[in-house]
Amino acid sequence: MPDKKKRTPESVEPLGSGFPTRSDASPAGGETVAKAPGGIAHETGDLHRLLVSSVRDYAIFALDPHGVILSWNAGAERIKGYKPEEIIGKHFSIFYPQELVAEGFPEFELRTAANTGRFEDEGWRIRKDGSRFWANVIITALRDPQSGKLLGYAKVTRDLTERREAEEALRESEERFRLLVESVRDYAIFMLDPDGRVSTWNAGAERINGYRAREIIGQHFSRFYPDADRAAEKPRRELEIATATGKYEEEGWRVRKDGTVFWAAVLIAAVRNPRGELVGFAKVTRDLTERRASEARALEDARRVAAEEAARHAAEEREQELRDLATRLQRQAKELDEQRLRAEEARHLADEANLAKSQFLAAMSHELRTPLNAIGGYSDLLAMGLSGPITTQQEEQLSRIKRSQTHLLGIINDILNFSRIEAGQLVYNYATVSMRQAIDAVSHMVLPQAVSNGLTLDVERCDKSIAAHVDRAKLEQILLNLLSNAVKFTAKGGTITMTCEARDARVMVRVRDTGSGIPEDKLQSIFEPFVQVGRSLTAPAEGTGLGLAISRDLARAMCGDITVTSTVGEGSEFTVTLPKATDEATKD
Ligand code: ADP
C-alpha cells in the first residue's frame, strides 16, 4: 500500500471536479476550479460540488483507481473525524479495522466495484480517534464515458451506528422476550397465523398441551378443543371475536394430546402490524385444573367444616338438653324422694292410727260383748219361764230383745273380726279343703232364710276332686257372707245360683243372684268397710257394711281374691278365687 500513497492526485485530476482537493479544501472554494468553462454546465458543476461538499449526513469522497483519497466533504469530516488536509492523499484502507486490512478486504471492495460497477457493504469502520462505527458503504466505479477507462471511485459512507445499536437493542430485546416466552412453563404462550394455525410454541404449551413444537407447529389450533366445541365451530368464532374486538377471553375445557381434558383460562389476542393488518393471534392458556380442584377442595372443606360445626352445635345442644334433662330428673328424683318420705311418714302415721283404731275397736267390742251376752242369757232365762210364768205379750217382747241382742252381737263380732284382720292378729290354719263339703255346709245354713224369703237356692254339686288350700272356717265365712248378701238383696221369687270350678292352679266359686244389682260406680267401693249401697232400700237394721271388706281381706290373705260383675235390676255375680290344693280332697 505505501506505493499507492506515492501516487499524485494529479494523475486522476478529472475527479477533482466537484470534490474538495488538497489545494481546494474549502467547501466554499468553487472559484478555484480553473478548468470549469462558463455557461450552465459550469454553473451546474459548481452547484453540484457545493452540494456534495456541504452534505453532512454522508461521507462522500473520491478515490483514485488505487484507493488514494482525492476529495473529502463535510459529512466525511464529521463522520470520520479527519480534516481534508489530514486525509487527502491517504489510502482509504485507513478507515478499516486491522483484521479486514489483513484480509485484503479494501482491495476486494475496489475490485468488486471495478468489476461490477458498484459495491455495497455494511461493517465496522474506524474513526480518526480510533473508535469504531457501523457504516453503510457504497463504492461506485467512475469510468470515462468515452474510453471506459477507470478513473477512480466515488465512496459514500453512512454512519449506521445508532441504527445498528437500535436494531441490536431491538433484536436483543426480542431475543430476550422470545427466551422469556419460551421458558415460561406455567402458561402456554403461542402464536397462531391468521387462519388459526400454530406458528410458535413455548415450554408451557408443551407442558400443558402435551405436544412438542415440531408436532404442533403448522397444525390448526382447533385440535385443542373438545369434539362438541369443534362441531359447534367454537374455535372459529373465538378467532372472529378476537379479530373484531381485539381479544377473546374465557375459561373452558380443553383437550391435551393424550385426550385428557383440563380446565383452562384462555386469552386470544389479535396481533396487527403497524399498518393495522392482522398478522395472527397470540394465545395464552393457563391450566386451571389444579386451581379448580383446589377450589372444589376448599368448597368441600368449607362444607365439611360447616357440617362438623353444625354437628358439634347439635351435639352441644343435645348435650345441653341432656344436662337439662338430667337436672330435671334429679329434681324430680329429689321431689319423688321427698314425696316418698312424706308418704312413708303418712303411712306410718296412718298405720299407727289404724292400729290404735283396731285396738280401740277390739277393746270396745270385747267390752260390749260381755253385757250383750248377759242380756241374751237373761232374756233366754226369762223366756224359759224359770223365773215365773210370762204372758204371751212378754214372750213376744223378750223375743224382740233377743233379736236385737243377736243383731248387735253380730255387728260387734263383725267389728271385732275386721279389727283383728286389720291388726294382723288372725291366725290361718291352712288345709286341703273339699269345696263340695264347704259349699254344702254353707248352703244348708242359708237355705231356711232363702226359703222363707221365697227364693230358689240352686247349688250345683261341686266335683268332689276340687279342693282349695285354705283355712276352712275363713272360707266358709266368705261363702256365707256372699250367700247371705244374695239372699238379702234378692226380691221374692228370685234365684240364687252357686257353682264351683277348678282352672289351672285356681279354684273359683261363683254366687249369682237375680237381685237388685249394684251400680257400676259402686262395684269397687262396696269392698270398702262400712260402705252400703242404697241403704234405705234395705232393711235398716240389717248389715254393717263390713261383710265384703272382711271377706275380701280374708280371701286376699289366703292368696285369693273376690271380684264382682253386676247389672242394676238384673242381678250380681260374685267370684271367689282361691289357690287350688295340690293333693286330692279327702272324702268325709
Ligand atoms: P252389709 O251386707 O252388711 O251391708 P256388705 O259389706 O256385705 O255389708 O255389703 C256392702 C253393700 O254391698 C251392701 O250394703 C249392698 O249395698 C251391696 N251388696 C252386697 N252384696 C250384694 C248383692 N248380692 N246384691 C246387691 N247388693 C249387694
Rounded distance from Cα 407 to ligand 1 centre (Å)? 16
The mean pLDDT of 197-201, rounded to a whole number, is: 93
Query: Is the pLDDT score of 479 beyond 80?
Result: yes
Q: Residues near 476 by Cβ (< 8 Å), separated by ≥ 6?
A: 438, 441, 442
Rounded distance from Cα 503 to ligand 1 centre (Å)? 27
Cell numbers 377473546 label which residue?
248
Which of 479, 485, 521, 533 is the best mutation target for the ligand 1 pocket, counting ligand atoms within 8 Å of the beta carbon and taking the most?
A: 485
Atom number in ligand 1 closest to CA 529 = 6
How many other CB atoms sit within 10 Å of the CB of residue 44?
Answer: 10
The mean pLDDT of 41-48, rounded to a whole number, is: 72
pLDDT of 48 reads 78
Query: In sequence order, what E strands does 201-310 have?
Result: 247-255, 261-272, 278-287
Expressed in percent and rounded to 5, the helix, strand and coil fractions of the chain are 50, 20, 25
Which of 8-17, 302-311, 555-564 has the least mean pLDDT?
8-17
CA 127 and chain centroid, separation? 82
C-alpha cell of residue 412: 260387734
Say if residue 583 is exposed, middle or buried (CB neighbours under 10 Å; 0-12, 13-18, 19+).
Answer: exposed
- Residues at CB less than 6 angstroms from ligand 1: 481, 485-486, 489, 513, 515-516, 518, 526, 531-533, 543-549, 572
- Say whether 135 sits in a helix, a strand or coil: strand
- In the chain, the N- to C-terminal Cα span, in Å, equals 179
Query: Is the pLDDT score of 35 beyond 50?
Result: no
Question: SS3 sequence, 85-122?
Answer: HHHCCCEHHHHCCHHHHHHCHHHHHHHHHHHHCEEEEE
pTM score of the predicted model: 0.43
C-alpha cell of residue 118: 458498484
The residue that leads in pLDDT, 538 or 228, is 228
Q: How far apart are CA 280 and CA 195, in angstroms?
A: 8
Q: How far apart are CA 266 and CA 430, in angstroms?
A: 107
Which of 193-197, 291-295, 478-482, 546-550 has the least mean pLDDT?
291-295
pLDDT of 535 reads 60
Question: What is the number of helices (H) and of strands (E) in the chain?
Answer: 16, 15
- 365: pLDDT confidence band, cut at 50, 70 and 90? confident
Output the DSSP codes for 520-576. GGGTTGGGSTT--TTGGGS-TTS--S-HHHHHHHHHHHTT-EEEEEEETTTEEEEEE
Rounded distance from Cα 414 to ligand 1 centre (Å)? 14
Q: How far apart are CA 216 and CA 209, in angstroms?
A: 10
Cell numbers 383452562 label which residue?
264
Atom number in ligand 1 closest to CA 544 = 3
Which of 96-100, 167-171, 481-485, 507-511 has the least mean pLDDT?
167-171
Which of 207-211, 407-411, 452-456, 573-577 has the least mean pLDDT?
407-411
Query: Is the pLDDT score of 41 beyond 80?
Result: no
Which of 73-87, 300-314, 370-384, 536-550 has the least mean pLDDT?
536-550
State pLDDT tens for residues 431-448: 999 999 999 999 998 998
Q: Residues near 361 by Cβ (< 8 Å), separated by ≥ 6?
A: 415, 416, 418, 419
State pLDDT tens for residues 378-433: 888 888 888 888 899 998 999 889 988 888 888 888 888 887 787 777 889 999 99
- β-pair type (495-503, 456-459): parallel
- Average pLDDT over the chain reads 86
Contact yes or no for 487/455 (Cβ under 8 A): yes
Which of 190-194, 247-251, 534-538 has the least mean pLDDT?
534-538
Which of 526, 544, 546 is the best mutation target for the ligand 1 pocket, counting ligand atoms within 8 Å of the beta carbon and taking the most?
A: 526
Rounded distance from Cα 572 to ligand 1 centre (Å)? 10
pLDDT of 481 reads 93
- 214: pLDDT confidence band, cut at 50, 70 and 90? very high
- 457: pLDDT confidence band, cut at 50, 70 and 90? very high
Percent of the chain beyond pLDDT 90? 58
Nearest to 249 by CA among 206, 285, 295: 285
Q: Residues near 524 by Cβ (< 8 Å), separated by ≥ 6?
A: none
- 40: pLDDT confidence band, cut at 50, 70 and 90? low
Q: How far apart are CA 584 and CA 577, in angstroms?
A: 18
Q: How far apart are CA 432 and CA 581, in angstroms?
A: 6
The mean pLDDT of 159-183, rounded to a whole number, is: 84
- 538: pLDDT confidence band, cut at 50, 70 and 90? very low
The mean pLDDT of 123-140, rounded to a whole number, is: 92
pLDDT of 542 reads 64
Q: How far apart are CA 471 and CA 297, in angstroms?
A: 87
pLDDT of 513 reads 97
Q: How far apart are CA 124 and CA 35, in angstroms?
A: 38
